[in-house]
Amino acid sequence: MENKTVYLNGLYLPLDKARVSVMDRGFLFGDGVYEVIPSYSGHLFHFQEHMERLENSLNTIRLVNPHSREQWLEILTPLLDFSLDQYIYLQITRGVAPKRDHAFPEDTLPTVFAMCSNIVPLDGKEWGVKAISLDDSRWDLCNVKATTLLANILLRQEAVEKGCAEAILVKDGYVTEGAASNIFAVIDGLLLTPPKGSGILPGITRDVILEIARTNKLPCSEDIISFEALKNASEIWITSSTREIIPVVELDSKKVGDGKPGPVFRTMHELFQAYKRSLL
Ligand code: PDD
């Protein structure tokens, strides 16, 4: 295990010295929220948007943000290596309670943890990955970036065991998102992604892609996608902070389009990389 420096409750420590109590509500209940923020050459990508989503997640689970945005930046910056592309993982739990009780404890300080990892490009980023569709078995608060990820884990694991990079989730006949990504599809020349709501995580990468598409006049829309329509899409992509935009070239063992990354993906990939560089 790489013994990097991590942040825990006000201290910077070697990873193997960072310890939390077994009574931490994050450990006992998954009672916490998290963020994943990419950092390109030490520049935190869309930091304000990640902070806004963090604030929304905290508000929904009724936890007070322990830090201002400025304090978060001060905490996270020492973890970054300015010569690398990395991502910050940060997590806040409801803290260490005196006893295991589902209801919130009183006067408990939250546990704040952050670490930084290198972005390792996914195999197939350029030439595409396989995906399977699965029933979306998750709860009604998918807009909260909660550490409670058991359903997502089981779905991703099922995909991996079938040789796939992602599970594309379907609820009541409509596509929601991936186990750890948002979904885009090109259908009849239109770039589509499901609208925000409680059924999906409002991905920051998703928003950036929509912004880039609109700026460059690529036809796009935030609209529901039926699973039937997805099966006939000419392109499918999965998007996230750690994987950026990945073309899905096979869904449920059938080729998507001609089985190669499509022209809209290639255009968006170039535009996305140029946009990233423009922020440095
Ligand atoms: N996950 N939907 C889900 C369920 C996710 O877990 C993620 C990201 C996304 C994409 O959001 P963003 O573009 O803001 O990364 C959508 C992160 C990377 C994770 O859990 O590691």
Cβ–ligand 1 distance for 88 under 6 Å, the answer: no
Active site residues: 145
272 C-alpha to ligand 1 centroid (Å) = 17
- Predicted confidence at residue 126, as pLDDT, reads 76
- The CATH topology of domain 5-118 is D-amino Acid Aminotransferase; Chain A, domain 1 (3.30.470)
Answer for the pair 165, 124: CB distance below 8 angstroms, yes or no. Answer: yes
- Return the closest-CA partner of residue 206 out of 196, 217, 219: 196
Nearest CA to ligand 1 atom 19: 180
Query: Is the pTM here over 0.95, yes or no?
Result: yes
Tell me the CB-side half-sphere exposure of residue 181, using CA atoms within 13 A: 22
Cβ–ligand 1 distance for 240 under 6 Å, the answer: yes
266 C-alpha to ligand 1 centroid (Å) = 22
216 C-alpha to ligand 1 centroid (Å) = 25
- Predicted confidence at residue 2, as pLDDT, reads 67
Q: Which residues of the chain have pLDDT under 70?
A: 1-2
- Predicted confidence at residue 141, as pLDDT, reads 97
Start-end of H helices in 68-126: 69-76
Rounded Cα–Cα distance for residues 92 and 35 (Å)? 9
Gap between the terminal Cα atoms of the chain: 31
- What's domain 129-279's superfamily in CATH? D-amino Acid Aminotransferase, subunit A, domain 2 (3.20.10.10)
**34 DSSP β-pair partners:** 91
**188 DSSP β-pair partners:** none
Cβ–ligand 1 distance for 241 under 6 Å, the answer: yes
- Predicted confidence at residue 184, as pLDDT, reads 98
Domain range annotation of the chain? 5-118, 129-279
